[in-house]
Structure 1
Amino acid sequence: MPVMGKIEDFKIDMDEMMKAGVHIGHSISKLHPKMKDFILGIRNTSHIIDLKKTSQYLIEALKFIQEIIKNGGTLLLIGTKPPFKTLIKEIAEECNLPWVNERWLGGTFTNFGTILKRIKYFKELTRQKETDEFEKYTKKEKIKKEKELEELKIKFEGIKNIEKFPEAVFICDIIKDKLCLKEAKMKGIKTIAIVHTNTDPTLVDYPIPANDDAYLAVKYILEKIKEAILSIKKK
């Protein structure tokens, strides 16, 4: 996990990170041994994350993301915790990225062919709905189709334009979305993720030591990802 780059390259502000609560860790009893190098100290009964290291690792992740975008690749954003669902979708749509903000479907990567077939069916149902083809069904059939479409939309709306594996995934919480992390690693998809003090950072290719529970902390990191991507797309 090389660490290079200057903080000013991406306008990383440690005061802003502190205000957002990026540095606040879990209680000391929950510390994962492999997170020790990222700990600055203890406040009350909680660990404090070293924001200098957060800055360094965030920069490394942002550089990697920019390389993906430069080369025409895809970054998939994953955030299924209720407080972050809307945020993930908004950031993804602003950057024209795919996203998942509902429960990760087992097999999304490991049974990719089946997922693509379901996406194709979802898009066909959407087309039928938009062209009033649902009107040819009986009332009972129409209600059934509309319910099915709504369920498929929840599952596939964010990844409906994916045709191949993304080059990388960004995961807000690797405990909540451990299945996504596992499947990505199995398929050789690079992983970028926030790693809180209770997680194993060695499971992630580009770990970002930070608070994965606080809305403002997660928003700060996602906003930096957005800025990094949009700066490349504007060139």
Structure 2
Amino acid sequence: MAKTENVKDLLDAGVHFGHLTRRWDPNMAPYIYMERNGIHIINLYKTAAKLNEASEALSKIAASGRKILFVATKKQAKEIVAEQATRAKMPYITERWPGGMLTNFVTIRKAVKKMQTVDRMKQDGRFDSLSKKEQLQMNRMREKLEKNLGSIEDMTRLPGALFVVDIKREHIAIKEAQKLNIPIFAMVDTNSDPRQVDYAIPSNDDASKSIEKIISNVADAIVEGLSERKAGKEKSAEGKKDKAAKPAKAKAKAVANDEEE
């Protein structure tokens, strides 16, 4: 079970600071505690409850063996998301969202395979037989693909869920996931509509400390889910081993009994 986040820790990270009151989305009203100096303050008790709910669901998705794709292209979130997603062994997009990333996933996979083909050519020596101009073109293509798609190289099928920082900025990713009925988890600030996602975590999606607090908690839950999956696999393997060993033991016992007679 994912850990319960402490409200004081959320407060210290500035998770409660929303946007200016004139920029609010009325659908965020249930998650707003008050208004102070023209800024909406988020109810952190509700944030903690929603964060725990989302973390438990993400842990289960990870335990099932499906991938969770993190999406955050805003400057203050990029590095944090890349680090935490890597720790949780999950794919992420922190550069420009490639249109059709989900709805045209086959084409995206072809682009990833091009990158892998260049790597294989370098390993088996075919790359060295190319002209300098061709090598330069190949390297440029490889670098461009690595920048945009290198972080999803191991994602061989559509993800089991999306985790988004700032649903207004990542609206294209949201629409694609909605079209394919992929569950969406997100940090939702007071200027956004929480109805667009399945698991909304009301929180400040602009400050790096707030983003790090939420993302690290989510990553912890995913790591926990992966650990449960690994433990389950090991237990299953041991069970199969024991099951296979039983007939052999029974046979050996029968042989020993025959010899005694």
C-alpha contact (below 8 Å) 1:25/1:196 kept by paired residues: yes
User: Could you say what secondary structure the match of 1:128 adopts?
Assistant: helix
CA separation in 1, counterparts of 2:222 and 2:100?
28
CA separation in 1, counterparts of 2:18 and 2:9?
17
Which residue of the other structure, out of 95, 98, 101, is the alignment partner of 1:105? Answer: 98
Cα deviation, 1:49-90, whole Å, max 9, x if unaligned, reads 000000111111011101101211111111111222121111
Query: Structure 2 counterpart of 1:194, which letter?
Result: M
| 2:43 counterpart residue number | 50
Residue 132 of structure 1 deviates from its aligned partner by 4.7
Matches for 1:1-235 after TM superposition, within 5 Å? 10-235=3-228
User: Could you say what secondary structure the match of 1:47 adopts?
Assistant: strand
Unaligned segments of structure 2, at least 5 residues: 229-261
**Coordinate RMSD, CA, aligned:** 1.4
TM-score, with structure 1 as normaliser:
0.93
CA separation in 2, counterparts of 1:147 and 1:188?
36
CA separation in 1, counterparts of 2:108 and 2:26?
37
CA separation in 1, counterparts of 2:166 and 2:97?
12
* Cα gap change, 1:72 to 1:29, in 2 (>3 Å): same
CA separation in 1, counterparts of 2:31 and 2:220?
25
TM-score, with structure 2 as normaliser:
0.84
Task: Report which of the two structures shows the higher radius of gyration computed on alpha carbons.
Answer: 2
C-alpha contact (below 8 Å) 1:40/1:50 kept by paired residues: yes
CA separation in 1, counterparts of 2:140 and 2:3?
44
Query: Structure 1 counterpart of 2:126, which letter?
Result: E
Residue-pair matches, total: 228
Give the percent of matched residue pairs that are identical in Structure 1 and Structure 2: 34
CA separation in 1, counterparts of 2:124 and 2:215?
36
Cα deviation, 1:125-179, whole Å, max 9, x if unaligned, reads 1222355533222111111111111001011111111121111000011111110
CA separation in 2, counterparts of 1:133 and 1:225?
43
Unaligned segments of structure 1, at least 5 residues: none
User: Which 10-residue stretch deviates more, 128-137 or 107-116?
Assistant: 128-137
C-alpha contact (below 8 Å) 2:59/2:223 kept by paired residues: no
User: Could you say what secondary structure the match of 1:223 adopts?
Assistant: helix
